[in-house]
Chains A and B, each alone.
Chain A
Amino acid sequence: GAGVSQSPSNKVTEKGKDVELRCDPISGHTALYWYRQSLGQGLEFLIYFQGNSAPDKSGLPSDRFSAERTGGSVSTLTIQRTQQEDSAVYLCASTIPSAGQETQYFGPGTRLLVL
């Protein structure tokens, strides 16, 4: 596709359930980022992938959060035992690395609501 796509666009779940959020980056983009956008915290970095490896997981808020990327393309962010404070919009971005000067291209996000 032409841009970054994310699915589902909206997800409502009950506290304690696991959820999986998917990101399809722009074809050829080797770098992939996950961010979280919430009312209280603004936009926060979660994790970075270069190819299939994740050299920077420093933004993951707890061990309930994990992510993987397969084939250097699709990435899945998994939240286990969801809590109400996990409610947020989860944004994915992809790019071709250029020592920090690169533009990150964002998907439309997945809006997660934990009841």
Chain B
Amino acid sequence: AQSVTQLGSHVSVSEGALVLLRCNYSSSVPPYLFWYVQYPNQGLQLLLKYTTGATLVKGINGFEAEFKKSETSFHLTKPSAHMSDAAEYFCAVSEVGAGSYQLTFGKGTKLSVIP
């Protein structure tokens, strides 16, 4: 079974600073990778995804992530944090189950932005 590891359950950055949220996966086949964001008391919203093609993926709200097969990583970055980025972020991999493409999620990283 595939697994996803997110380093750091809680990350704090200053407003305007670089955001870096780490994600590593284990997979024996090329995966499909996703980053979702969850604001308080809301469902998950897709930020970006990697399926095939270009390994640097751009998403909404200025976020991007780079798929590095040699490092089995898919880290999420944003050059300049904004107060509105405070939320919980989940990295996920699409895994073929018994006829489904269920998502396997990391434990999540809660991002705090300090004014």
**What residues of chain A have their CB less than 8 Å away from a CB belonging to chain B?**
4, 31, 33, 35, 42-45, 48, 50, 55-56, 58-59, 91, 93, 97, 99-109
Contact = CB atoms under 8 A, between A and B. Distances in A.
Contact of A42 (B32, B98, B102, B108): B108
Given A91-B44, A108-B41, A56 B105 contact: no
Nearest to A41: B107
A106 B44 contact: yes
B105 A43 contact: yes
A90 to B, nearest CB: 11
A48 B99 contact: yes
23 contacts: A33-B103, A42-B105, A43-B103, A43-B105, A43-B108, A45-B97, A45-B102, A48-B100, A56-B99, A56-B100, A56-B102, A93-B43, A93-B44, A99-B101, A100-B101, A101-B32, A101-B51, A102-B101, A103-B34, A103-B46, A103-B49, A104-B46, A106-B36
Contact of A106 (B45, B51, B52): B45
A48 to B, nearest CB: 4
Given A43-B105, A100-B94, A50 B99 contact: yes
B98 A58 contact: yes
A33 B98 CA distance: 13
Contacts of B101: 97, 99-100, 102
A106 B104 CA distance: 15
A98 B4 CA distance: 22
The 5 closest A-B pairs by CB, nearest first: A106-B43, A48-B100, A55-B99, A43-B105, A100-B101
A109 B102 contact: no
A59 B44 contact: no
A109 B51 CA distance: 27
Given A42-B105, A56-B97, A105-B46, 10 more contacts: A43-B103, A45-B97, A45-B102, A48-B97, A55-B100, A56-B102, A59-B102, A93-B44, A106-B44, A106-B45
Give the one of B34, B45, B97 with max A CB within 10 A.
B97
